[in-house]
């Protein structure tokens, strides 16, 4: 089931992660161009073309949101509220702080924190509904005190946004909701239409068209990241339960055929036991065909000789999700350099993080955990520095500034200091 390789062949795992599609990029650029030019008309036409829904008024009213909320089972509403509270508590502790300090009585410098005023959240829709995505993207924006949290999501086959999505948006404090998705939705958020005012930043996952559109509009707006296929790496040994490991690999594989499920172990017998469990558990999955294709295409078992090699493999791959299912797992955390999120021990499976634990599930993919972080309140604020010197404070450093400015050939910089004295 899983392709078994040695650590020497780890490039097989890392080299095939970047997806490029020139035809999709051509399509995305054309869609963005049309939305910039025709605005609402283009949004409506593309929604009709791609989602088979024609709707001139695609803003969701408060009445529609309230009605959707009433349709959701009380237990599910309670589940969403528990998740909301846990996510909020975690992200409240992330908020960056303002500060100032004096170098002496004549000089003061500091940092200011300001929320981004208007952000856009993309929530995948159509055939699926992901209320967890709503919470994970909207709650840190709410904690950061973003004034306008604008959500877009494509319509489902009934021509509407799922009730559970709207209910999650109500709980999370989303202020505007529009029934539009794809590259046309990203373009509408970035450039604005008659219906949607432009935002300053766009966050949230989507398909390749959404990812490429976010990449194209970056600069006009900020973005969180370019999300690739979801992935999990599980480091497990003979002390682990192969049923648990197989179940967690399948939980990732069922996302889509491009999802990546990777096992690292020092025991070939354990890998065989996991493969047997994968075959058994696959039979009962509702998304069996997708999970099977994912495992066959992107599933790997990397055999290592010892823990040192296992940790080396983890840090090279830099997985989106890392599960440590070995003895003394907590002792390994300090040695992990690259991972989006770490799940420690047999009772901390990745779906715990997806839904309810609190840390954000919007994580760096495709090895980008080497240089980037999960979505956080930092993504929804701006930091500004400020400087206040007195005449005496500036006088004390004037000669240094002038020498440096002249050395760089910037005589007007030097003059701007000199003229004050």
Query: Does 29 map to a domain?
Result: yes
Q: In angstroms, rounded to a whole number, what is the distance separating the alpha carbons of residues 87 and 353?
A: 10
Residues 237 and 99 in one domain: no
* Spans of the chain below 50 pLDDT: none
Query: Does 394 map to a domain?
Result: yes
Q: In angstroms, rounded to a whole number, what is the distance separating the alpha carbons of residues 24 and 289?
A: 25
Domain finish residue from 188, 223, 258: 223
Residues 116 and 198 in one domain: yes
Query: Does 363 map to a domain?
Result: no
Residues 9 and 26 in one domain: no
Residues 92 and 182 in one domain: yes
pLDDT for the residue 19: 56
Active-site residue, selected from the candidate residues 176, 231, 320, 350: 320
Domain finish residue from 337, 358, 379: 358
Query: Into how many domains does the chain fold?
Result: 3
| Bridge pairing between strands 231-236 and 321-325 | parallel
Residues 164 and 244 in one domain: no
Residues 268 and 210 in one domain: no
State residue 66 phi and psi, 5-degree precision: -65, -40
Rounded to 10 deg, the angle between the 268-282 and 242-253 helix axes is 60
3-state secondary structure of 252: helix
Residues 126-166 have pLDDT tens digits of: 777 899 999 999 999 999 999 999 999 999 988 999 999 99
Q: In angstroms, rounded to a whole number, what is the distance separating the alpha carbons of residues 208 and 25?
A: 9
Q: Can 194 be counted among the known catalytic residues?
A: no
Domain finish residue from 205, 223, 241: 223
Q: Which residue has the tokens 């909320």?
A: 69
Displacement of CA 25 from its chain's centroid (Å): 21
DSSP 67-107: HHHHHS-HHHHHHHHHHHHHHHHHHHTT----EEEEEETTE
pLDDT for the residue 354: 96
Residues 98 and 69 in one domain: yes
Residues 307 and 403 in one domain: no
Q: Can 320 be counted among the known catalytic residues?
A: yes
Asked if 311 and 322 count as a contact pair (C-beta separation under 8 A), the reply is: no
Residues 210 and 300 in one domain: no
DSSP character at residue 251:
H
Q: How far is CA 210 from CA 136, 184, 214, in A?
A: 18, 9, 6
Residues 105 and 195 in one domain: yes
Active-site residue, selected from the candidate residues 176, 231, 277, 321: 321
pLDDT for the residue 126: 74
Q: Which residue has the tokens 């009934």?
A: 158
Asked if 4 and 271 count as a contact pair (C-beta separation under 8 A), the reply is: yes
Q: In angstroms, rounded to a whole number, what is the distance separating the alpha carbons of residues 101 and 400?
A: 21
> 97 exposed, middle or buried (CB, 10 Å; 0-12, 13-18, 19+)?
exposed
Query: Does 367 map to a domain?
Result: no
Range of the domain at 403: 390-418
Query: Does 172 map to a domain?
Result: yes
Q: Which residue has the tokens 């392709």?
A: 3
Helix H or strand E encompassing 336 = none
Angle, CA of 383, 387 and 393, to the nearest 5°: 160
Domain harbouring 301, CATH code: 3.40.50.1980
Query: Does 377 map to a domain?
Result: no
**Number of C-beta neighbours around residue 78 at 10 A:** 10
Query: Does 374 map to a domain?
Result: no
Residues 218 and 240 in one domain: no
Query: Does 378 map to a domain?
Result: no
Rounded to 10 deg, the angle between the 163-172 and 62-71 helix axes is 110
Residues 59-107 have pLDDT tens digits of: 999 999 999 999 999 999 999 999 999 999 999 999 999 999 998 899 9
Q: How far is CA 110 from CA 45, 366, 384, in A?
A: 49, 36, 8
pLDDT for the residue 157: 85
Which tokens go with 72? 């959701």
Residues 58 and 8 in one domain: no
């Amino acid at each position: 089931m899983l392709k078994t390789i040695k650590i020497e062949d780890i490039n097989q795992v890392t080299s095939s992660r970047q997806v490029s599609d020139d035809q999709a990029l051509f399509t995305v650029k054309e869609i963005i161009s049309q939305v910039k030019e025709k605005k609402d008309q283009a949004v409506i036409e593309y929604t009709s073309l791609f989602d088979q829904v024609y709707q001139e008024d695609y803003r969701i009213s408060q009445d529609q949101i309230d009605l959707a909320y009433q349709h959701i089972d009380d237990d599910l509403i309670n589940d969403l509220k528990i998740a909301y509270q846990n996510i909020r508590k975690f992200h409240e502790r992330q908020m960056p702080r303002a500060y100032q300090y004096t170098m002496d009585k004549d000089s003061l410098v500091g940092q200011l924190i300001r929320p981004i005023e208007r952000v856009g959240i993309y929530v995948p829709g159509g055939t699926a509904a992901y209320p967890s995505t709503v919470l994970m993207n909207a709650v840190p924006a709410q904690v950061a005190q973003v004034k306008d949290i604008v959500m877009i999501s494509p319509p489902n086959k009934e021509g509407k946004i799922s009730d559970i999505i709207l209910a999650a948006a109500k709980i999370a404090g989303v202020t505007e909701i529009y029934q539009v998705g794809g590259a046309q939705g990203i373009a509408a958020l970035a450039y604005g239409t008659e219906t949607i005012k432009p935002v300053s930043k766009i966050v949230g996952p989507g398909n390749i068209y959404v990812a490429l559109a976010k990449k194209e509009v970056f600069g006009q707006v900020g973005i969180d990241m370019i999300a690739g296929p979801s992935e999990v790496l599980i480091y497990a040994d003979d002390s682990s339960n192969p049923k648990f490991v197989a179940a967690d690999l399948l939980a990732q594989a069922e996302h889509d055929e491009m999802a990546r499920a990777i096992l690292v172990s020092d025991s070939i017998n354990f890998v065989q036991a996991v493969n047997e469990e994968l075959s058994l558990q696959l039979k009962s999955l509702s998304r069996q065909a997708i999970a099977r294709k994912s495992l066959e295409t992107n599933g790997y078992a990397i055999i290592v000789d010892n823990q040192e090699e296992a940790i080396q493999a983890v840090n090279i791959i830099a997985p989106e999700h890392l599960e440590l299912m070995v003895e003394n797992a907590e002792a390994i955390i300090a040695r992990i350099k690259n991972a989006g999120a770490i799940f420690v021990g047999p009772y901390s499976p990745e779906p715990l993080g997806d839904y309810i634990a609190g840390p954000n599930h919007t994580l760096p993919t495709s090895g980008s955990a080497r240089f980037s972080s999960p979505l956080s309140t930092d993504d929804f604020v701006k930091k500004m520095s400020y400087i206040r010197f007195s005449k005496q404070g500036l006088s004390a450093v004037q000669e240094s500034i002038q020498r440096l400015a002249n050395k760089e050939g910037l005589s007007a910089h030097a003059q701007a200091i000199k003229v004050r004295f």
